[in-house]
Chain A
Amino acid sequence: MNETWRFDTLVHLGLWLLIAAVSIVLHLLPLGAIEGDWPAPDILLALTLAWVVRRPVHLPAPAIVLVFLAEDLFLMRPPGLMALAVLLGSEFLRRRQSVLRELNLALEWAMAAAVIGAIWLGTRLLRAIVMVPNDPLDLSLLGLAVTILSYPLVVWVLQGVLRVRKPAMGEVDELGRKL
């Protein structure tokens, strides 16, 4: 087994899985159909991206795929589409980890907003190409805006409550290797 799969990583992965499960179940709760209301922000998406920016080791790609595939299945979305988009988006951020580490929150927010926007546009385009009816444009744009606006809040919770931060200079992991 890969030696980076240490206790701390597993605990954080479990925490993320728990949050994801709670988020999906909250969506399923029969609290009455929300109609004509503002669409809720996609907290899970924002949280996942913010987490990948901070500690990519915690969230392996297969876990991301499984969680978003489950969300696709339960929330009656086309299966696999959102999972694919989030996988590509998170991989994009993961590759640029060394760059993102230097950025302040505003620039990181802009980058995350670009990724979220690309996910939104990509899924809509792909749906249009294979002629699956898309969500109404105004509602869906509003949902995109709300999700992007919620990103700093998610980052605040992630850093303040869950204590997941960007690695500081000279920080080492459990094996004593430089992060």
Chain B
Amino acid sequence: MATDRSNEADYIRPVRRLLIGVLALILLALFLLWRIDSPRIERFRTAVVDSVVPNLDWAMAPVTRVARMVEDFRSYARIYEQNQELRRELQQMRAWREAALQLEQRNAQLLDMARVRLDPQLTHVTGVVMADAGSPFRQSVLLNVGARDGIVDGWAVMDGLGLAGRIAGVGDRSSRVILLTDSNSRVPVLVQPNAQTALLSGDNGPAPVLEFVENPEALRPGDRVVSASDGGVFPPGLLVGEVALGADGRLRVRLAADYGRLDFLRVLRSRPAEVIEQSGSLLRPVDAAGVPLDPATGAPVQALVPAEVSDPVLTPVEAVPAVPLPGAERPEGAPNE
């Protein structure tokens, strides 16, 4: 502030310099505190964003609408090509629809035969995208649902068709979705025809990279990629996209979710699957001490049981029915599609 003013009091410059130093120290301390205790500062950040951004709706809605209108208006210019393209696509869609109907009937028959019970707890909450981080370095968006609607960190987020990302940061009225393209996103996936597991890692580009593929030669562009339940992060079987070969020769995934227009996103409520750890207690009656009982006599059967069952917690073994079911070759495990 005005270093060359002759009539400025002499004490101002040292005081000012001191104040600047204190400000700089506070900022450095804040940064270091964020580095050391990131969750607390991130919660503070979430609280600030949560209190400000929903109140900006009045400003954001018209601007967004105008931008969309400009975008739409631009598309009038090539309306003829679009029309042709749409006709071609419609023709293809008719063929697909026919195939889908047939497959649906077939699937219903198969499900009926197999009596598959779909996970009844896989329901969803739908939210509207309020804001995005707006830089090429951070690929994340803000949803208008939060802890009030029961959102929990780590849940999977889809648009209508495919997986879009996962929840990272929940405020009371808003939550942040880190998209699959973000450079911090790592998601276990399954490449479908030969069931290879891989890791989908974002690199800020439009198509994330497939890493840690066991056998890259067996993959070819166009293979379907679905989410895997490894690590308990995501429910399995959600469509992610299809394999594509990038210009740099790396295997990438073309995402099924339409990142150009993320308007509504659906957050899947997921709960960790139960884990079966004991063998005996599932099928046989157990007394208070955890010793298996003979179902016929009600007496402890230590003499007949091998040593591993006496310590069931330390050595988890697969659950095998006591009596093999007649005619069942694979009694455990859900039937595959």
Interface residues of B in 131-185 (CB under 8 A from A): 131-142, 179, 181, 183-184
Is B260 within 8 A of A75, CB to CB? no
With A57-B2, A130-B35 as contacts: A35 and B181 at CB distance below 8 Å: yes
Instruction: Give A94 to B41 CA distance when docked, in angstroms.
Output: 31
Is A135 within 8 A of B137, CB to CB? yes
Cα distance, A177 to B7, chains bound together (Å): 9
- Pick from B3, B30, B49: contact of A97, CB under 8 Å: B3
CB atoms of A75 and B48 under 8 A apart? no
Contact A95:B3 (CB < 8 A) given known A25-B60, A29-B134: yes
Q: How far is the CA of A83 from the CA of B7 in the complex (A)?
A: 31
B184 and A36 within 8 A (CB): no
If A33-B179, A65-B23, A177-B5 touch, whether A75 touches B134 (CB-CB below 8 Å) is: yes
A117 within 8 Å of B by Cβ?
no
Do B184 and A30 touch across chains, with their CB atoms under 8 A apart? no
Interface pair B140/A35, CB less than 8 Å apart: no
Interface pair A56/B1, CB less than 8 Å apart: yes
In whole angstroms, what is the CA distance A130 to B32 when docked? 8
Whether the Cβ atoms of B60 and A29 lie closer than 8 Å is: yes
Give the tally of cross-chain contacts (CB within 8 A): 150
B6 closest partner in A (C-beta) = A178
A62 to B19, CA, bound (A): 9
Contact with B along A69-85 (1 / 0, CB 8 A): 10001111011110110
| Chain A residues, CB < 8 A from B48 | 73-74
Q: Which of A119-136 contact B (CB under 8 A)?
A: 126, 130, 132-133, 135-136
In the bound complex, residues from chain A placing their C-beta under 8 Å from that of B139 are 33, 35
Q: Is B34 an interface residue (CB 8 A)?
A: yes
Chain A residue nearest in CB terms to B41: A79
For residue A57, which residues in chain B have a CB less than 8 angstroms away from its CB? Answer: 1-2
Which A residues touch B5, using CB under 8 A? 177-178
B125, CB-defined interface residue at 8 Å: no
If A98-B4, A136-B183 touch, does A62 touch B23 (CB 8 Å cutoff)? yes
Tell whether, in the assembled complex, residue A35 and residue B206 are in contact, meaning their CB atoms are under 8 Å apart.
yes
Contact A32 B183 (CB under 8 A): no
* Total count of chain A residues near the partner, CB < 8 A: 52
Pair A84/B206 contact, Cβ less than 8 Å? no
* A132 in contact with B23 (CB, 8 Å): no
Residues in A whose Cβ lies below 8 Å from that of B59: 25
Q: Interface size (B, Cβ < 8 Å)?
A: 57
| Interchain CA distance A62-B1 in the complex, whole Å | 12
Chain B residues, CB < 8 A from A80 = 27-31, 34
Within 8 A of A (CB), among B171-215: 179, 181, 183-184, 203-206
Name B19's closest neighbour in chain A (CB-CB): A61
Q: How far is the CB of B199 from chain A (nearest CB, A)?
A: 17
Residue B233, interface by CB 8 Å: no
Contact at A81–B31, with CB atoms within 8 Å? yes
Residues of A with C-beta under 8 A to B183: 133, 136
Within 39-77 of A, Cβ neighbours of B (below 8 Å) are at: 39-40, 56-57, 60-62, 65, 69, 73-76
- Return A139 CB to nearest CB of chain B, in Å: 6
Within 8 A of A (CB), among B59-84: 59-60, 63-64, 67
Minimum C-beta distance from A68 to chain B (A): 9
- Tell me, yes or no, whether B261 is within 8 Å of chain A by CB: yes
Contacts of B34 in A (CB 8 A): 78-80
Distance (whole angstroms) from the CB of B6 to the closest CB of chain A: 8
The interface residues of chain A lying within 8 Å CB-to-CB of B4 are 97-98
Residues B27 and A139 in contact, CB atoms below 8 Å apart: no
A87 adjacent to B24 (CB under 8 Å): yes
Residues from chain A with a CB closer than 8 A to the CB of B3 are: 94-95, 97-98
Task: Give Cα A20 to B184, complex, Å.
Answer: 28
Contact B259 A33 (CB under 8 A): yes
Chain A residues closer than 8 Å to B203, beta-carbon distance: 136
Q: What are 12 A-B contacts defined by CB distance under 8 Å?
A: A4-B2, A29-B131, A30-B131, A32-B261, A34-B136, A36-B205, A60-B1, A69-B30, A78-B35, A81-B27, A91-B20, A136-B183
Knowing that A79-B34, A80-B28 are A-B contacts, what are 9 other residue pairs whose CB atoms are under 8 Å apart, sorted by A's residue number?
A28-B60, A29-B63, A30-B141, A35-B136, A35-B205, A35-B259, A79-B30, A84-B24, A98-B3
